[in-house]
């Protein structure tokens, strides 16, 4: 279905075409990072809609659905920003049930959500499959951290300085904007724009 053309949709169509120019076939994962409340989920949802408009099969996932339980996090010490950054998310589950099976190109089912942080409860896994040509859009805090960044074909960072203490810790270790394929200024959601960081 063709989307209503707005400045945001026009911007996202240009970004989608850039992505598809380099990664148009097979299984591809696009990861979108940014500080707390930067609009990552909405941006990923809208980009997914544009990619679907282009005729691609698109799946969505969020790191919010790969949290560790509060009890599991407590095993790593006191509740601090450092603990949340280091151990707040179940990266093993992310790799095991989503990334690795998705990469198998249709021969294996995958899961896009395992945990509900609001209820602090596990979600019954829903195994899904897709065609050999498919795109996964994953949004979330810390998805461009050093130990995860190489998993993604396309890395997008929403611009914004960290304010939340856990984001401050994360950006001090590795600013996701510095490893991103594209940095997006999305403070005005109706008029997003690319930001090109100085290389010097």
**Domains of the chain in sequence order:** 22-191 (3.40.50.300)
User: Residue 22 above 90 pLDDT?
Assistant: no
pLDDT, tens only, 159-199:
999 999 999 999 999 999 999 999 999 999 999 999 987 65
pTM above 0.85, yes or no: yes
The mean per-residue pLDDT over the stretch 42-67 comes to 97
DSSP assignment of 113-151 equals --EETTTTEEPPP--B---SSEEEEEE-TTTTSHHHHTT
Handedness of CA 81, 63, 15, 37 (dihedral sign): negative
């Amino acid at each position: 279905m063709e989307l209503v053309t707005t400045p945001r949709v026009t911007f996202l169509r240009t970004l989608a075409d850039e992505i598809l120019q380099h990664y148009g076939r097979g299984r591809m994962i696009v990861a979108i990072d940014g500080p707390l409340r930067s609009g990552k989920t909405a941006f990923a949802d809208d980009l997914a809609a544009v990619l679907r408009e282009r005729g691609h099969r698109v799946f969505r996932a969020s790191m919010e659905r790969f949290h560790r339980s509060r009890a599991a996090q407590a095993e790593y010490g006191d509740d601090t920003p450092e603990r949340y950054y280091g151990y707040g998310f179940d990266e093993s589950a992310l790799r095991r049930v989503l990334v690795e099976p998705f990469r198998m190109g249709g021969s294996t089912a995958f899961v896009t959500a395992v945990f509900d942080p609001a209820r602090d409860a596990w979600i019954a896994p829903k195994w899904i499959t897709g065609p050999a040509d498919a795109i996964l859009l994953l949004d979330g805090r810390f998805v461009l951290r050093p130990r995860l960044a190489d998993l993604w074909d396309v890395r997008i960072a929403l611009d914004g300085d960290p304010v939340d203490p856990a984001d401050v810790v994360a950006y001090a270790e590795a600013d996701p904007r510095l490893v991103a394929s594209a940095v997006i200024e999305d403070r005005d959601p109706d008029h997003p724009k690319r930001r090109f960081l100085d290389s010097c």
